[in-house]
Structure 1
């Protein structure tokens, strides 16, 4: 393990968690988005993370949820079909919020690791400078 590997690993974690947070924010913002029944529903984004062989983590891709969604009865909605239905996203808002907390905590932990590594490197430079 090299001298700056901790910073590289924490940096990759920050990037992955930021991507996860962005996807979750988009999902939560669109949780109540409905469309007419002849359109695809909003598809929730799910970040796929994978371990980097050299250390850290990478975003392997972003999977999308089911465009089929769920049919909701809303006869007064302007997009409702002749039977009174609209198409809503097939996602659980509680699950999205739970994941948001996990992503935030992961991001905070990565920031703390970065801070500790920087402090350690600064201390080492101070010792070496004497």
Structure 2
């Protein structure tokens, strides 16, 4: 078993677990993004409805593909890439990767930000409400 990587300054430990998988809708929206990207692209022909349907059906046929807890994201990505390139061998990996939906990044406040926003003192809960 490997040691976890950690920060030498603060001691924070980074997990080495694989990235949790995505639900099937994530990859279906990637197909829709791919279709929209190819709509006006001068280099590649459009993604026909038959091709997008074949990609979606191939992903549906794989057992546990849409279960985020059974299959890690790396495995899902490799399967998705192979299915798309089987239907459209002219598309390169970078173009397909750009079609994946981006998750909105949330601002997660640090402990110092939380402490300074409340005046440096921890909040006290009054029993009366």
> Common fold, TM-score beyond 0.5?
no
TM-score, normalised via structure 1 length? 0.25
With normalisation by structure 2, the TM-score equals: 0.26
